[in-house]
């Protein structure tokens, strides 16, 4: 049963990460990080395939080794968060959301920029 749950989580995250490749604004790498982590618990073949991927494998390994995020990734994530903040501020949404989401995304950006780059 545990293996089934780990594989389910890995599959959902892999699907979301794959969708993030073609859907603007949907992050890819965080979902692939979780998919590799879940795969290490219940689907070693998937974990191996993700680590061997020519584009995402090095990012996953770098995260596992030193919790590092490339500078380009930080800039892209920060830019997308800025677009999200602008969008939420001009959208007809509840006022609490216009305050809460920008505050949350600013904290995420602050955390992201404190990660090493190597």
Q: What's the chain look like in SS3?
A: CHHHHHHHHHHHHHHHHHHHHHCCCCCCHHHHHHHHHHHHHHCHHHHHHHHHCCCCHHHHHHHHHHCCCCHHHHHHHHHHHHHHHHHHHHCCCCHHHHHHHHHHHHHHHHHHHCCCCC
Tokens, residue 52: 């061997």
> What is the reported pLDDT for 118?
67
**pTM tops 0.85, yes or no:** no
Give me the tens of pLDDT residue by residue for the chain, a chain 118 residues long.
Answer: 889 999 999 999 999 989 988 887 778 888 999 999 999 998 999 999 999 999 999 999 999 999 999 999 899 889 989 998 999 999 999 999 999 999 999 999 999 999 998 6
């Amino acid at each position: 049963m545990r293996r089934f749950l780990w594989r389910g989580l890995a599959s959902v995250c892999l699907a979301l990460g794959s969708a993030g490749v073609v859907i603007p604004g949907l992050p890819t790498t965080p979902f692939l990080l979780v998919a590799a982590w879940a795969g290490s618990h219940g689907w070693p073949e998937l974990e191996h395939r993700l680590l061997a991927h020519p584009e995402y494998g090095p990012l996953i390994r770098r995260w596992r080794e030193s919790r590092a995020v490339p500078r380009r990734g930080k800039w892209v994530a920060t830019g997308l968060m800025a677009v999200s903040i602008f969008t939420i501020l001009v959208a007809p949404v509840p006022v609490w959301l216009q305050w809460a989401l920008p505050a949350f995304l600013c904290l995420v950006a602050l955390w992201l920029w404190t990660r090493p780059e190597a």
